[in-house]
Chain A
Amino acid sequence: MRKVHPGILAIYLLSFLALGLLLWVLGAILVNGLPVVLHYGVQLFTANIPPPVFFFGPPPEVGLAPAIVGTLMIVFIALLISFPIGFLAGVLISEFYYTRLAKAAEHVASLLVEVPTIAAGIAIYWLIVVPTQGFSAIAGSVALSLIMIPYIALYTAEAYRKVPKLIKEGGLALGIPYSKVLFKILRGLVAPGVITGVLIALAKAAGEAAPLLFTAGWSNKVSLDPFQPSASLSVLIYKFGFSSQELWLKLSWAASFILVFMIILPLIIISKLVVRKHEF
């Protein structure tokens, strides 16, 4: 038998250790979260969050609807804010790379990725929550949009950069205006890259709790008003995770399952499929 070098053996062992631990996290969410989701079924997605203390028997309804609706709404509004900014900046970074503004924007975008997300939350607390004298879903959205903008900008820039120059120049040679080339002709070529950026940004934002704690606040009831406080899945996992109540701990697992397997995982899988289809 061929002898395996101890160094290579160490690489195998450490890799399996890392992978095993990481898969353990995923497995634990599945094993602990899925049964709770199955047990409560549809109720979990439609009912309000049960009150903290129930004196008489079991709670009337057990649901996560305010957190699910809250996460979807906050992230959607954050996308509305961040997409136009990120997309335009991304095109600028790629197509007008020689301008000072483009260079600065690229620099700032890669810097924004490294800013701790809690900093965005505290900044928006001072900027929006204090002047408006209250938590609101939209304050949470603004905080999340700060996290999403750099991803969308950098992925958009990368998507435009990857388009062969010949195609851009071909369009221009035909006398088609530059803006039409960028936004119409190249649409099919850059779409996969831009969509990937959007999906990655959404996946990141959906899981963030730190920027929402002191901006979006909390609500036990479903609220579709962006100017009112709102619960979210990520904040719920944190809040209920420290509880001594069995039911709340279970709800934290269920929220983890919904967040990871029903929101983030599909986003990542779609982003992978989009890229695979359109490689050139």
Chain B
Amino acid sequence: MTRIKERRLLALLGIGGVLVLAAIFVVLFPLLANSYTFLLKRGVELVTSMDWSPMMNQFGGLQFILGSLWVTFWSTLLATPLAVSLAVFASDLSPRRLRGLFGGLVDLIAAIPSVVYGYWGLMIFGPLLASTVYPLLQSAFSGVPLLSTLFSTNAITPQCFMTAVLVLALMITPYASAIIRNAYEMTPKDMIEAVYALGGSKWDAIKMTLSYIKSSILAGVIIAAGRALGETMAVTMLIGNSVGPFKPCLLCRGATITSIVVNEFQEAMMNPSHSEALTALIVILIAMGSVLLYLGRKISKNFVEAEIHA
């Protein structure tokens, strides 16, 4: 395109550009400014200890970091098959006439606020699971090594890691699915016709398409994991909010970085160390998210493109 010199136009648009750059500093600067002294002085305690007792001036937050990773891992694991299936269904298997409606429905569902998912989980989904599925899981896996620790708990409650994980998996499925669907529909028709020409079945065509868009699937999954990591309201309402040490268990109560911040920030306003510790945890959360995005860019060549469609 021709480069037109229009200084005044560029200056005007430049203001917008500079302010977008400023926006990231508006987020990062106050967080860093109010946590760096804490991180320098007690950062090691924050990321290695699991003793969290603001009243006693103990700020070990490892259980929240592990809790965030634990919830992210399981919800992403569960969302992946759902998202891939939904993408294939929406772009290949559903009746052609319904596809527009279907896409709209998924967009709509993706726009339901986190806090509403949380309330649904709190009032309906969690209690239902706790009275039906969780006791079954617990008894089914009670003798199995490794798996039994996942499902062992003294008391089954509607609010636990598992409820948060399941609702979160549901929430991130439309995101991952939209990215996968976009790639699925971009697959060259020749490739698919070649499969049929070789006598392949519908299933062979789907398998080929999915392996063709592997990298986009990975990108979608990583972006969804990023969403799960930063997800706040639904997790806070469903995870049970226990500040005790982390246990690799799904039916136990727990906490994540986001849930501890929502739960305690109000009272922490009175105690500088406490509010700085929570702010430092947010900084750690952003760092974890950045590592994830960085890995995504390294692993998947379609990552940047997928990010735009997210």
B18 an interface residue at 8 Å Cβ cutoff? yes
Q: Is the CB of A92 within 8 A of B258?
A: no
B66-99 residues with Cβ-Cβ distance < 8 A to A are 81-86, 88-90, 93
Determine how close the nearest CB of chain A comes to the CB of B265; give it in whole angstroms: 5
Q: Is B6 an interface position by the 8 A CB rule?
A: yes
Give chain A interface residues in 196-238, CB to chain B under 8 Å. Answer: 200, 203-204, 206-210, 213-214, 234, 237-238
Q: Would A29 and B24 count as touching, CB distance under 8 A?
A: no
Given A14-B86, A22-B109, A178-B9, are A214 and B265 also a contact pair (CB < 8 Å)? Answer: yes
B202 and chain A: residue at smallest CB distance:
A8
Q: Would you call the interface of chain B mostly helix, strand, loop, or mixed?
A: helix
Tell me the complex Cα distance, A127–B178, Å.
Answer: 35
Stretch at the interface among A34-42, A44-52, A103-111: A103-111
Chain B contacts for A118, CB-based, 8 A: 230, 232, 258, 261-262, 282
Interface check A190, CB cutoff 8 A: no
Instruction: For the A-B complex with A84-B16, A115-B289 known, give 14 more contacts whose Cβ atoms are closer than 8 Å.
Output: A12-B93, A101-B14, A105-B16, A119-B27, A122-B282, A126-B279, A127-B26, A168-B1, A177-B6, A179-B6, A209-B115, A213-B266, A234-B113, A237-B116
Query: Which B residues lie at the A interface, using CB under 8 A?
Result: 1-4, 6, 8-10, 12-21, 23-24, 26-31, 33-34, 81-86, 88-90, 93, 104-105, 107-109, 111-120, 122-125, 170, 173-174, 201-203, 206-207, 223, 226-227, 229-233, 236-237, 258, 261-262, 265-266, 278-279, 282, 285-286, 289, 293, 304, 307-308, 310
Q: List 13 A-B contacts (CB under 8 A).
A: A14-B81, A22-B170, A32-B123, A89-B20, A114-B227, A118-B261, A126-B34, A207-B113, A210-B114, A237-B116, A238-B237, A256-B116, A267-B111
A residues in contact (CB < 8 Å) with B: 5, 7-8, 10-15, 17-19, 21-26, 28-29, 32, 84-93, 95-96, 98-99, 101-102, 104-105, 108-120, 122-127, 146, 149-150, 153-154, 165, 168-169, 172, 177-179, 182, 200, 203-204, 206-210, 213-214, 234, 237-238, 241-242, 249, 252-253, 256, 259-260, 264-265, 267-268, 272
